[in-house]
Chain A
Amino acid sequence: VSEIAGEVLRAPHGGLLLVACLAAILVQVGVLAVQGLRRSADTAALSLNVAGALSILVMLVVGGWSTSAARALMTAGFHDESASQKATDLSDSISGQLNALPLMATVAMLALILWLIGVNRALERRPSGGARRAFAALALFGGAALAAGVGVVRWSARLIATFAGLAGVDPSEKGPILGRALDEGHATFRSDARVAYVALGLATLVAIVLAARGGSGTPAPAAPRRSSTVAPLLVTGGALGLAAVLFVLTGPMRRENALPWPTPSSGDDVLLVLDVLTPEVRGPDPLERAPVVEVFNDKTLLDGAPCDLESLGDKLRTLRSYYRMLHPTGRFNGSAVLLVDYSLPIDRFVALAHTIHDAGYDRPLLTFTKVETLWRPVFGKVRRVVATGARLKLLDHADIEAAGADLAGQGTLGTLLVPDDLDIYDDLAKKVVALRNAGGAVALNLGKPPAR
């Protein structure tokens, strides 16, 4: 319990939800205790049971508020600039929701059972058969609602176990494992939901039969009451009106839950950048975890932070030394993710390429983005940027001289491109992609560094 409470506290308003859960149980226990003390009283106090029902309702509303805020936190986490804040938000959101839902369901079921005991106690001393029939109907509906709660608890427990099992799993495997768990969980959730709906349907039928049969064996009231006509009409109107409102509110959620999602991202092919208009090509090489350099016509960004060409070189060298500190036995592969505006003049690209080459990044991945946009019933517009790459080897005049005659034309490093033949970056990208798609390696002869 303390573990669940700790996890629920991570959700927004988690503390308030815990208090509301505790209050919902304590109120029912309090009602039962007061009823026990008042056992000799002539009239049973239904107002206490109304208070009990309200405490359950308040708990559900607070839980709904907390869970919805946790979901919003998850979506907002996509926009956090700080990676650590993003990870914290995502973790708090997932853990908060997955623990708040079963906690709410369990507390609601327990409180409902205690509440029904209290209602039974309040009604059992009433002589009329109507009171007993009313309780029977309440108990039937309550029992059927428990089936819904059990389904939610089973589903949440399964997902919590899946997340717990992800620790230590290779990052590339996490998405598929979670995807499968979601699919299986969704199926069992739907199957448990059908049980709950059937149980509620049967409960309604039994309650109708009880209501239809009632009255024949019970003594007629001493005096006809006007409320015997008005009250059922009020109940009918109120219940159907509320049901219609709930049905309308459920519509978008039902459509959202029924609409399939496209193939999940592997995590490595999605970038959180939107602005760079890269060439409209699809590269054959997968994305790698490497420094991300975004090049616009008027600015350059390294991992999202603006920089000029000179500071770009310094920062890349720093990142390279960090890499060597973190991977003392690993080989630095010279890769950087390059997102370049398609219209960038080729001489500006060559100047940039010299900078990253001189910083030790001589195998950049020319990266091309494609925005996929979805419209979802609840989430609205959802976008992701899928990226592909094409590997390019960078060689300056010193590399060429060192390699000698091998590099002339189709040498050992594959096709050697010369920038003089190109006008804008788009021309280079299309050539590199065509050559890489044909299976060959591609190098770019940068020549001598530009004068600074």
Chain B
Amino acid sequence: VRANLPRSTGAAGGQRPPVAPWPPAEDASLFRLLVDSVVDDAMVLLTPEGHIASWNPGAERLAGYTADEIVGQPFDHFYTEEDRAAGKPGKLLVIARLEGRVEDDGWRVRKDGSRFRANMVITALHDQTHTLRGFAAVTRNLPPRGVREHGLLQCDNRFGTLVDSIKDYAIFMLSPEGRVLTWNQGAERLKGYAPNEIVGQGFERFYTDEARRAGLPHRLLAAARAEGRVEDEGWRVRKDGSLFWADVVITALTDADNRLIGYAKVTRDLSERRRAEQDRAARLAAERTAERIERLQVATAALAAASRPEHAAEVLIDVAIRAFEAAAGAMAVPTADGSALEVVDARGYLPGIVQSDRHVGADESILLSYTWRTNQALFLGSRAQVQTEHPELMATLAASRFEAWVATPLVIDRRILGVLGLSFDQQRVLNPDERGFLLTLAEVGAQAIDRARLFESEQLARTDAEAAVRAQDEFLSLAAHELRTPVAAVKATAQLAERTIARGGIDPDRLARHLQSIARVSDRLGALIDDLLDVSRLRTGRLRLRRKQVELVSIVHEVMSRYRATEHRHQFVLTASERGARVDADPLRLEQVLDNLLSNAVKYSPNGGPIEVQVSHESDGVTLTVADRGIGLPAGEELRIFEAFGRGSNATTRQIQGLGLGLSICRQLVEVHGGRIWATSPGEGHGTSFSIWLPAMDVAEQDGRHHG
């Protein structure tokens, strides 16, 4: 059988098989001619056992074997190892035998080992006694364009059977003028004409009116004549007038002298496939849309839950990376001064780069900055695109380990909150759908970040306000507590005096002593209340200063003379330079500070001793120091004593009266004057020095332009 089968004409370009003179004396040679003329589809006959019995030029072109090499081999040669291991070729034959035909899309292997995707139809061939005689296998290379492989085993070399038995393709011959010469079952099935209706008719009737008016049918023949073959995809008309979408290959048939003897025309109805593809495309698009909507919903929900901007950024990057299958993503926001971008969060970049300096690597960060400056989304699908559209970015992106980039500004109410960038391992061109999705995501992200920021700042403000209220409560409670004890003493003293009088034992001296006590404590209470009010005003910034040009040394003189008059156990010594030290200050407040420091010096040096006051000039200010030889300060308490209610621990154990407000007030008074106050002590029992520094008035003010 095999030996009787025709051979292909050998070379890949063998579209010009040797042909019998026209018209052919014998059907077989005509059909053989037809089969051999098909170079785009592999048409192969298989024995019932699945061995290759015939091989046409299409098969050679597709699979790379010549007929000599392959005829007689099992047809599973063309299958991948996996398919062979799974027994797929054998199964296909079984199905073809049982059902008449089988269609299979899948990978095939060429002689050189390379793979191609093919669509194959295997048709079982039975003779009149219903005995299986073999199979016809027609294979077409799938995605770009195909080659069909059609095989038909015909015991008696009758290619007419091969061609005729094929039901999925209309295969027929045309005369040089375009009249139909042969008609197979596939043609009848496809176009609806019986052979006797159509043979001898012009082939133009298969075309739409429009195509005929445009002269398409004869242009195709002319092209086939000129090029050897021509391919066309378009609408064709059935006998009943209905249309189908066809894939057509017309091959010119010539004799040995290269005279045109006609055309072979192979037509396939792609309507189903086209519809299926359209359906599939529509379904895919719908699925993608649904998926995006779902992603967007998930993202929106996650973003809505983000109460901190960093968290919103994290979610946004996460969603974007997953949605676009990006390798890396980052979000950056302008720094506080708006001069640069700072990365808030990044995923997928080399960790060291991001964390060390908050940059996503110079290459990607340049992209973010560029997007930030232009306020335009940037889609760079490949390095080539960067080169042609944004060559200015090429210098930096050349070093990147990524191949494609996108970046979009995050805008809300025309404000750019930041920039979102994605990087891809491979070239990646976003289709319009995807671009739209990215922009929507950026919009949702911007809203979420804006909301989170607002939420955070509100929360911070609330926390601040709460802390202020709490501090005020605490202060009031401490103040009230401190006021209760002297009030209790006043009340008890008054009650005791009252009882003494009631009992008739009036001792004027004793009564006077009680009344003096009451007066003294009342003074203390009054001062305490003033202190509390000062502290409160200073804390809330409501203290009003009446500043004027003040001669510091004269104030010091004045206050010291008051102390000299009442405190006889201490010696008050002033050291000051001749030159007057003028400062811009509220004289009453300055006096208050001095008074406080001196009274502390007296109070904390219960054994008396010298109290030295020194005023010294510096280029930029004046320093005043009050030093005593008193109980000193335990190490580490130099700062605490300036806090409200903060007192030296040795002050409390030594029963020295005081609330711990004075120094707190001094500190704040000095600070509102733009100065500083500090304490030093060589240690407990070795005295304490308090110093204040006040800024000097600037020269212009010293020249008298000051109007205080």
Q: Do A and B come from one complex?
A: no
